[in-house]
Structure 1
């Protein structure tokens, strides 16, 4: 991973400079629970992000090397948000219509497809494409409360491990110097976690299906409509274009050539996709604007925190892969997993550097594996762990599905996910 101190010169800041970063992450975790109605409009999120981020930006402009670090953070933020925006907009132009029999095998196939798509078009993109056909297919059934929960576990989180396109923390790792194809070596962890989740879901859904009333099953089987995919002929090649643009950053790292290409692809999708496709998907700008607003503050506020971590991280005593997996994961559960990944990645890089290695992948690739798995997998532990989680909750409730409370969801996560994460620890990090 790229060391900021080497790339831009050292940034020497007092310990208190990390306070705004910690404050912002705490506010992101607490305000949705303590003041949900006030927090909901993106305008208020912008107020919070600006109130925390602007003083940090002004402080950095007064520090030696601070301007360079700030500009570097802004450049990474622009690359980050353009990629997410391109995937979100282009995937939002692909709509799946139809209603097939809501049998357990069918539902499992939906989730398995989502697990693969999540690594190709991102957890947000895959969630956008699949959540409504999944909910529509199961609308005649009554025992389906578990369905959107497992959708969040698999499609919105654990499926996105295999490429930097899959989940925001992995793309940030790519921006920091991790090779694009490095994440493909995480397929054993991806297969283990998603395989167990799909098996657990299949058993759970079979039990729930047997408890359905005969009338509901008959009504479901009478509502059969063949699945059709609309907008793929246009937006499929556009998604491939985004992937090509991301790959090109390795060979043409000059900013902003690749970013401009992704913006062009996004605009083509907006221009050429029929309006009714987005209307059927109930496409809205709110979710991606929320990410853009919050991460503007996060990228600025974390600059001093990363500088302090680079200076003092080796003395924290976190050295083993299993420690990085669980600390990254638990922080990703209560905070956003993208800044958590960067923070723990910087800590691991410092530890590797102290031990005489130039970078993480040369020293102990299992540590980078642990950080990647912890950030992606354990973003599923709470509604606030990863961006799509709350979006799926809102769409499911809008469609008439009763979703558990914040803490009720955590009970499901503890029962289903924690044993799987213990298994990942045992086979990969001990």
Structure 2
């Protein structure tokens, strides 16, 4: 994957811009205008839709309907007392949905998973083949493959599926794209663009401990501004510090392990799976109190191992001239672009924490409109592009290549993985997953190849079926109880093992793309797994399981 395959036409198709990735956001003051105009159009359209009542939260609508039903029932009771006939026209129309609408569906055939397997195979194999490696560098071609296989999956739901219909296919689009993909990609896009306006510059001596400190800071930030925000903030200064070194690949991979994944488990805003747990009723600070010890051990082991490997294996292999340049060409760290972007990042965090359309605002009782969270995030992106320094973005070599790559591939992943998730959701309780170890390894193994957020949710519901928030929190407060340890296992598996592959978590792809644009030859899909994930990360995750889950 390199920068070479992107063209201005491709970028136009994805973000409405008119510059190429090759010019690194150097298109002048007008280069962001198409994107800004697009954001304004979306904001205006959303305002119109809201005024027309199209964005009312389903939960708010249901509560309002329930109140109306209660009033109607009271009237019916009053009329009945006076000999009136029943008021059947006030029966709850949502009751049918609760029992027969989208409540249950025929199980997809196992062969319906084939497009998803083919998409994973394309991501893994096409960059390795001589006659497809350059073709695959184009995000347009990635999108063609991903979207094409997604269409195959939807055709299955319209033709071969037991309950085949246009409605069945639309239900999967509604769930995968409208319900999951849009919030996922808008959040990543917001963190990517806003953090791209902050520049931490400088060229320190690229010693093992220096790089480890970058990762340590990123691992701490990941839980508080999200793994995407922390990764986008620190990957560029890390690459700049190491630009004189010849051996950099392993440093980027360890950065992915720590900053893009394992550092993000202390708060629900750190990683999407934990945020889903919060929405299911897990208290906001449970992750901090329950997971800080595994967080500390995992990241400490990774950082110590990195220092040892880099100091005693890679650094001695550096050429004398490269080491001399690294020692001499140093500049102190400087931070630019904090205004307004630091404040805007906080805005993104608060939007995630507060603007959930299924939960009322604390102390107000008002349910946010559907997609209000995403609209706020896009507005914050617009403010970042409008008020932020264009010179800072140019110094960062900022462009949209990495986020477009994630968007192009994950639109297919989210649809193609629906049959696999439906099979897991149906068969999960009967698979005999009943111990913390099983929850940890199965949740983690699937999170490496499926999106870790829905995978977390499947096994969360397997471990805690039909529990309300009060019952759930009572069950997981007992640190020696089985529910507590099971939730620890599900949380750690989904977050930590998202680092096992490039597709396990969105920031993994973005960091890989930025590193390759900077001249770092990153390992292939299989190379990443065979030379780093299995021999380096997997033993550490096994140690964590033995310490905390037995």
TM score, norm. by length of structure 1:
0.85
Using a 3 Å threshold, how does the CA distance of structure 1 residues 340 and 313 change in structure 2: closer, same or farther? closer
Cα 1:67–1:405, aligned 2, differ >3 Å: closer, same or farther? closer
* Counterpart residue number, 1:52: 153
Following TM superposition, by how much is the alpha carbon of 1:115 offset from its aligned partner in structure 2, in angstroms? 0.8
Aligned counterparts of 1:49 and 1:361: Cα–Cα separation in 2: 41
Residue of structure 1 aligned with 2:536, choices 412, 416, 426 = 416
Partner of 1:41: 139
Give the SS at the match of 1:403: coil
Answering whether residue 472 of structure 2 is matched by residue 366 of structure 1, we say no
- Following superposition, the deviation at residue 151 of structure 1 comes to 1.2
Say whether 1:230 aligns with 2:321.
no
d(CA) in 1 for partners of 2:432 and 2:96? 23
2:388 aligns to what?
273
Correspondence 1:22-171 to 2 at 5 A: 22-36=113-127, 37=132, 40-42=138-140, 43-44=143-144, 45-53=146-154, 56=157, 62=167, 71=174, 74-171=178-275
| Cα offset, 1:55, TM superposition | 5.9
Q: 1:392 to 1:144 in 2, by over 3 A?
A: same
> Do the aligned partners of residues 397 and 334 (structure 1) sit closer, same or farther apart at CA in structure 2, a change above 3 Å counting?
same
Please say if residues 235 and 269 of structure 1, whose CA atoms lie closer than 8 Å, have aligned partners that are also in contact.
yes
CA distance in 1, matches of 2:487, 2:217: 27
Gaps of 5+ in 2: 1-94, 362-366, 477-482
Higher relative contact order (CA 8 A, sep 6+): 1
Contact in 2 for aligned 1:360/1:368 (Cα 8 Å)? no
- Where 1:52 maps in the other structure, the secondary structure is helix
Q: Deviations over 1:67-86 (max 9, x none)?
A: 88875662444333332222
Instruction: Name the SS for the 1:277 alignment partner.
Output: helix
Higher helix share: 1
CA contact (8 A) 1:49 1:294 kept: no
Q: Distance in 1 between matches of 2:325 and 2:410?
A: 45
Distance verdict in 2 for CA 1:347–1:111, change over 3 Å:
same
Partner Cα separation in structure 1 for residue 98 and residue 408 of structure 2: 26
* Secondary structure of the corresponding residue to residue 520 of structure 2: coil
SS in 1 for 2:464: helix
Q: Pick from 242, 259, 262: which aligns with 2:377? A: 262
Unaligned runs of 5+ in 1: none
* Alpha carbons 1:56, 1:300 under 8 Å: kept: no
TM-score scaled by length of structure 2: 0.68
- Asked whether the 8 Å contact 2:119–2:413 carries over to 1, the reply is no
**For structure 1, which segment, 194-203 or 51-60, has the greater mean C-alpha deviation from structure 2 after superposition?**
51-60
Counterpart position of 2:306: 201
Which 10-residue stretch deviates more, 242-251 or 174-183?
Answer: 174-183
Q: Which has the larger radius of gyration?
A: 2
CA deviation string 1:251-292 (max 9, x = no partner): 434333333322221211121122232233333334334444
Q: Distance in 2 between matches of 1:296 and 1:404?
A: 24
Partners in 2 of 1:382 and 1:149 — Cα distance? 11
Q: Secondary structure at the match of 2:448?
A: helix
Residue of structure 2 equivalent to 1:216:
322
- Structure 2 distance, partners of 1:111, 1:160, is 12
Q: Please give the alpha-carbon distance, in whole angstroms, between the structure 2 residues aligned to 1:120 and 1:307.
A: 32
> CA shift at 1:223, angstroms?
0.8
Q: How far did 1:245 drift?
A: 1.7
Aligned to 1:340: 455
Q: CA deviation at 1:347?
A: 2.9
2:297 equivalent among 169, 174, 192? 192
Question: Equivalents in 1 of 2:184, 2:533: separation in Å?
Answer: 28
Change (3 A) 1:333 1:259: closer
Shift of the 360–414 alpha-carbon distance from structure 1 to 2, 3 Å rule, reads farther
* Further displaced range: 191-200 or 335-344: 335-344
- Which 10-residue stretch deviates more, 336-345 or 237-246? 336-345
CA contact (8 A) 2:245 2:323 kept: yes
